[in-house]
Structure 1
Amino acid sequence: MLVALKAGAFSHANAGHWNSYPHYYKAEVAQPTDNPPVSIALVTSKNDVLVQYATAGMIGN
């Protein structure tokens, strides 16, 4: 299992990390019997419009 956890203010760069880490893990590290990887974002502040566009098209939206 992989859990990618970051804390702080939301940024578009963080969204890229939250999206890329699980995809890399799933493709390169995970075994066929593993559960899907999870990314968790704990943000101290955010701009709703930035979140909307930075995460558009990501799984779970």
Structure 2
Amino acid sequence: MKALSVLQPYTSFILWGDKTVEWRSWRRKYRGDLLICSSKLWADIPEVDDIPDESLGLFPLGS
């Protein structure tokens, strides 16, 4: 099984079905099961600033 590390909040958006496409600069011909891992870091996007502090528990970070 292959794994893909994704920054939060994108990991949760993928899990919830809100994000259906993930672009990478490299190409892979792999087709099969894929494990989506949450990284330890947050994405540097303006939408993150809009998330209330009490909702941050919905976005678990990797260890």
How high is the TM-score relative to the length of structure 2? Answer: 0.31
Greater percentage in helix: 1
Greater percentage in strand: 2
How high is the TM-score relative to the length of structure 1? Answer: 0.32
